[in-house]
Amino acid sequence: MRNLLEFLARFGGFFLFLILEALSFFLIVRFDDDKNRIFLSSSNAVAGYMLKKYDAVADYFSLPGELDQLQEENKRLREQLAESYYAPDYDVDTVSLTVRTQDSIYSKGVVVRDTLQKQDSMATQIYAYVEANVISNSINRRNNTLTIDRGTSQGIAPRMGVIGPQGIAGIVKTVSKHYASVVSVLHSDISVSATVKHKGYFGALVWNGPDPRYMQLEAIPKHAEIAAGDTIVTSSFSGVFPAGLLIGIVESVTQNPGDNFHNIKVALASDMSRTGRVYVVQNKWLEEYKQVQKQEEDRK
Amino acid sequence: MSGLVITNGIRFLILLIVQVLVLKRLSPGIESFNYIHILLYPLFILLLPLRTPQALTLGLSFMLGLMVDVFYDSPGVHAAASVFTGYLRGLVLGYMEPRGGYNVNFSPTKERMGFRWFAGYAAVLMAGHLFFYFSMEAFTFAYFADTLLKTLFSFVVSMGFVLAVMFVFNPES
């Protein structure tokens, strides 16, 4: 007994060191598959509250940049409005348009507005958006995360997409009642299904670091004709993001000898260092989509 | 005694808050050269009183690291680095013991031990902490050159912060 005590007095610190390191390693490795990890993430109530309070102050310094981004986004959305299109026999006045629609007088120009009106009654909304404020963000680590001030009480759930004013920003990972932590597109776990606009090739967008302005598009075979300047948008496969959402522009395409795929460097449209306001994408058809995928997998 | 506990408790909280709210948001590197992290919180481990039992040092280091991890969304990474630093501290203190021994009632501050001693002590521990941290962050030795670069540049800036804090506040204990 005395020997044991002497042994512990001499080497106990070292053993405690090993035990605590083992515990840390366990946490690092286990991070991906534990529902209780909310407790250890920035989306927990205390951490979220502190980040939010601090962000309320720090926000003032980033506001000018954020406003520019939002204005740019508004401009883009405005340009998609029916009023921005020219139609020869089309009066902007809504009442007369409704009459015309009822009279079944269709012309090319009216179709845009017509579609918008139909959304009320006929078209079904697939994607809904929840606006959120980024209360914590980083870009200089290997695995970057965002924390946002929306949680389960606003309908946020894991695996939902997060988009900024200029493009995709990340995917929700853990959610508490009022906060959520989001895996940034600048994270080693991220993989976004993406496609080359007008060309149809699709691949997986990943981030190998360290430059936060670029991502890498993988799994596009060498025979695909891709050049710098091509636009990369989200594909419709994942159900996480709406299809056709801008991700970025191809910066360079290189080939490794002995590899069947292109090395494609994509310049991100989002400036991740200034992402202050984001939208969380809720896919209302996700359950159905998952069921179909599951059926497909079961059949195999 | 209770004074020491309060001093270190306040230091724990302030360093934690400054680290996770202020320093986490700073990324002084330019975009294509994103290697600089400012870690100031290990200063708590550096400045624990000399007579702190080793087990307590390790326990407090682990707690501090884990709390930083909560805000960084990286469970275990800062905790692993902090525990490493907590253990390293004992070894470094052993090597750097002055001829007359330590006055164990105090913390090894710049004021007590002199600038040269403190700078050397802090440099070894900060370098150890940063290297361990970046190794854990990558969690592979595949990016060894990257890890070394990150350690080097972050070390320069973080050391600057540590020494600046010592000069500005110049704590005695």
Strands A231-234 and A246-255: antiparallel
**Which range among A195-199, A288-292, B19-23, B154-158 has the greatest average pLDDT?**
B154-158
ipTM entry: 0.86
> pLDDT class for B145, splitting at 50, 70, 90?
confident
| Nearest by CB: A40 against B24, B69, B86 | B69
d(CA A275, CA A135): 10
d(CA B169, CA B173): 11
> pLDDT class for A88, splitting at 50, 70, 90?
low
Average pLDDT in the B78-84 region? 96
Q: Which CATH number does the domain housing residue A151 bear?
A: 2.40.10.340
| Structural domain count, chain B | 1
Q: Which CATH number does the domain housing residue B17 bear?
A: 1.10.1760
Tell the burial category of B41 from Cβ atoms under 10 Å away from its Cβ (0-12, 13-18, 19+). Answer: buried
Q: What tens digit of pLDDT does each residue of B8-48 get? A: 999 999 999 999 988 887 766 666 667 788 999 999 999 99
Mutate to test the interface with B, among A8, A15, A142 (most CBs of B within 10 A): A142
For residues A25 and A47, membership in a common domain is answered with no
* Shortest distance, CA B152 to any CA of chain A (angstroms): 15
DSSP annotation of B14: H
B128 and B84 Cβ atoms separated by less than 8 Å: yes
**How many CB atoms are closer than 10 A to CB B137?**
22
Strands A168-175 and A180-184: antiparallel
* Number of cross-chain residue pairs from A and B with Cβ atoms under 8 Å apart: 124
Distance in angstroms between the alpha carbons of the first and the last residue of chain B: 11
Residue A176 lies in a domain: yes
For chain A, the average pLDDT equals: 80
For residues A39 and A159, membership in a common domain is answered with yes
CA distances in angstroms from A255 to A52, A218, A226, A283, listed in the order given: 45, 12, 12, 36
In chain A, the residue whose alpha carbon lies closest to the alpha carbon of B57 is A13
**Which range among A6-15, A37-46, B138-147, B164-173 has the greatest average pLDDT?**
B164-173
B45 and B28 Cβ atoms separated by less than 8 Å: no
Average pLDDT in the B90-103 region? 88
d(CA A21, CA B66): 12
For chain B, the average pLDDT equals: 89
Query: What range does the domain containing A184 cover?
Result: 35-79+125-283
> Tell me, what's the pLDDT at B37?
87
> pLDDT class for A59, splitting at 50, 70, 90?
confident
Q: What tens digit of pLDDT does each residue of A231-267 get? A: 999 988 878 898 888 899 999 998 888 788 888 999 9
User: What stretch of H or E contains A161?
Assistant: strand A161-163
DSSP annotation of A156: -
Output the pTM of the full model.
0.79
Residue A120 lies in a domain: no
Residue A23 lies in a domain: yes
Residue A95 lies in a domain: no
Contact between B72 and A44 using a beta-carbon 8 Å cutoff: no
